[in-house]
Amino acid sequence: MTDTTPKDDDLIDSLSKYRDAALAIIDRAERTLEICDPDLSQLPLESPAGIAALEAFLQRSALHDCLRIVVHDVTHLEQHCPRLVRLLTAYAHRMTVRVSAREHRSLEQCFIVADNVHRLIRFHRDLPRARLSIDSPTDAAESLLHFETLWERAQAVSPGSRLGL
């Protein structure tokens, strides 16, 4: 973690701190990552550091489907994330992207949950205000419950095929 990376339970008030916290929580993950975001455009996943962090996580985790992502719209992923699409293709057996059901696309919160105990939550998708919770199973469980509801109704996208995927 750098000096600019928010510490546990810090209120995050800028997109740069949010992106630093996202990389920090991915680096902390050992087994599972769940990501819920409208389109991934505000996360640093396409950056070289983001790709390196995701690939290191995918190699660390022993679980089959260890990285699950729900987005509301795949347009950004299709048009602006070639490295992430390549990673998705290479690790299709380890990571899955789904598009949320139409009735869930008005979701305001964005979050990342790592190992069922760490959570980064952005309270409103249009604002940078967020909170990072480390070793907080209660906070993580709240978002995981929401994630599982979204996941069950979301439609899988297949790697490579014009993201439909």
Give the CATH fold of the 11-156 domain.
Endonuclease; Chain A (3.30.870)
Q: What is the pTM of this model?
A: 0.90
Q: Collapsing DSSP states into helix, strand and coil, what is residue 114? A: strand
| Six token digits for residue 79 | 């048009």
pLDDT in tens, 94-145: 999 999 998 877 778 899 999 999 999 999 888 889 999 999 999 999 999 9
Rg of the chain taking only CA atoms, in angstroms: 14
Q: Name the helix (H) or strand (E) containing 85.
A: helix 82-90
d(CA 160, CA 165) in angstroms, rounded, equals 6
